[in-house]
């Protein structure tokens, strides 16, 4: 296994994080808090970045076998945190979506986190742990498909009830990739995909807010300058930002769309700001970074020393790659508007923490496969869980 895989992976992540900090400074004046503090978002992001780096370092050193033993607990904790979103004293509802839980220390502003970010990883770890324990039975219909689908549907349903269809779809798609790698029954897995597409169609059709976004997207395709709602205008202004930026950009800090009112220019729609201020070269460089993360991350995952490591690694890479793909597709008007941050670049502490924990896991798998002697030197012999027969 190539020893440079983790170096390339980490280098791309650092470049994306650096770009995110620079763009957050550029858009800071339009992301100020109620007091007008233009550095509010930057300071909070730096605090989350410090916490995320520490979490990444810890996860990169934790023996993978510990995660396997704790997989049921991690999965249960992920579901519990999702339930807390609906508890009145803890859950926080913003713009009709109950995606956050909030904590407030004495004299300090509320700290809000998104449990769905932790739930993504909890589902991957829980599902991987189930397949390892199922052993050869993972190719059977009941143990290899029905029970895993039940494990996935619980958090997906909870996230869907939060009215966060993007995160729900992300969890479902990553679970499908993990099931495929685990060797689940392919015909039954195909039927499951059709059922999932049907569920997405029903959600778009019968949830008024989502149906409105889909209708606006179709109108946008016909007449981009027509009078649309907020979600439609976001994508119109995103197209204008890319057009203004052309190949070389208008210059860092000189973007017009953030001034003219592009909503969430520092979060979900930061990619068009990169295109406007830094140009096509910068946006293509971002895409290349994500492509390298996908390639080298998948290389690390598929060469992991244990089956559990391979499954967790694939799940982490798919989660990161899918989220980046969906964000770029939305901001380039290839998909209807959906609020998903751009990994490592967008403002948002919960997502940054989740993304760096995924990178920590991949670094852990890489070291365990390339430098197994380092694991033994720490007195942590690698153990394989014997599948139940």
Mean pLDDT of 348-360: 93
CA distance 143 to 138: 5
What kind and span of H or E run contains 103?
strand 97-103
Phi-psi sector, 112: left (phi>0), alpha (psi -120 to 50), beta: beta
Q: Which of 153-162, 204-213, 261-270, 312-321 is predicted least confidently?
A: 204-213
Q: Give the residue ranges of DSSP H helices in 279-370.
A: 280-302, 307-331, 349-370
Q: What percent of the chain has pLDDT over 70?
A: 83
Query: Please, which pLDDT band fits residue 207 given cuts at 50, 70 and 90?
Result: low
Per-residue pLDDT reduced to its tens digit, 27-75: 876 655 555 666 778 888 999 999 999 999 999 999 888 999 999 999 9
CA distance 20 to 344: 7
Beta strands 111-113; 97-103: pairing state: antiparallel
* Residue 196 Cα distances to 7, 156, 176, 211, angstroms: 37, 11, 10, 17
CA distance 312 to 81: 21
pTM reported for the whole predicted model = 0.88
Question: CB-based contacts of 228: which residues, under 8 Å, 6+ apart?
Answer: 216, 219, 220, 236
Query: Please, which pLDDT band fits residue 105 given cuts at 50, 70 and 90?
Result: very low
Question: CB-based contacts of 53: which residues, under 8 Å, 6+ apart?
Answer: 356
Q: Give the residue ranges of DSSP H helices in 27-114.
A: 40-59, 64-84
Tokens of 284: 């293509």
Cβ proximity of 305 and 212 under 8 Å: no
Phi first, then psi: give them for residue 250, nearest 5 degrees: -90, -5
Domain ranges, ordered by start, for the chain: 5-31+39-372
Per-residue pLDDT reduced to its tens digit, 226-272: 544 555 678 888 888 999 988 888 988 888 888 877 778 888 889 99
Cβ proximity of 97 and 162 under 8 Å: yes
β partners of residue 112: 102
Tokens of 292: 């390298």
Question: CB-based contacts of 8: which residues, under 8 Å, 6+ apart?
Answer: 292, 296
């Amino acid at each position: 296994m190539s020893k440079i895989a983790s170096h390339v992976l980490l280098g791309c992540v650092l470049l994306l994080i650096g770009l995110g900090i620079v763009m957050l400074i550029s858009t800071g004046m339009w992301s100020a808090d109620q007091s007008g503090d233009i550095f509010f978002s930057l300071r909070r992001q730096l605090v989350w970045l410090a916490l995320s780096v520490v979490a990444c370092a810890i996860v990169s050193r934790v023996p993978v076998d510990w995660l396997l033993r704790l997989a049921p607990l991690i999965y249960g904790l992920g579901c519990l945190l999702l339930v807390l979103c609906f508890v009145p004293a803890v859950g926080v509802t913003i713009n009709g979506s109950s995606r956050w839980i909030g904590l407030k220390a004495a004299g300090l502003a509320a700290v809000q986190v998104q449990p769905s970010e932790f739930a993504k990883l909890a589902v991957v770890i829980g599902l991987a742990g189930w397949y390892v324990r199922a052993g050869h039975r993972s190719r059977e219909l009941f143990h290899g498909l029905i029970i895993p689908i039940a494990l996935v549907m619980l958090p997906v349903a909870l996230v869907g009830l939060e009215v966060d269809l993007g995160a729900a779809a992300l969890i479902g798609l990553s679970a499908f990739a993990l099931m495929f790698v685990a060797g689940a029954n392919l015909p039954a897995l195909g039927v499951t995909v059709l059922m999932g597409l049907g569920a997405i169609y029903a959600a778009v059709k019968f949830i008024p807010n989502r149906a409105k976004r889909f209708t606006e997207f179709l109108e946008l395709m016909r007449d981009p300058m027509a009078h649309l709602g907020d979600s439609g205008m976001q994508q119109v202004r995103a197209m204008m930002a890319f057009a203004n930026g052309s190949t070389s950009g208008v210059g860092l800090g000189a973007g017009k769309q953030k001034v003219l009112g592009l909503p969430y220019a520092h979060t979900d729609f930061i990619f068009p700001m990169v295109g406007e201020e830094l140009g096509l070269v910068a946006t293509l460089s971002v895409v290349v970074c994500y492509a390298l993360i996908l390639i080298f991350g998948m290389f690390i995952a598929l060469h992991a020393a244990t089956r559990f490591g391979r499954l967790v690694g694939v799940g982490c890479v798919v989660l990161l790659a899918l989220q980046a793909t969906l964000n770029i597709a939305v901001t380039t008007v290839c998909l209807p508007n959906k609020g998903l941050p751009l990994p490592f670049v967008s403002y948002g502490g919960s997502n940054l923490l989740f993304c760096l924990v995924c990178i920590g896991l991949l670094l852990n798998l890489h070291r365990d496969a390339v430098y197994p002697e380092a694991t033994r030197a720490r007195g942590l012999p690698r153990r394989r869980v014997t599948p139940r027969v």
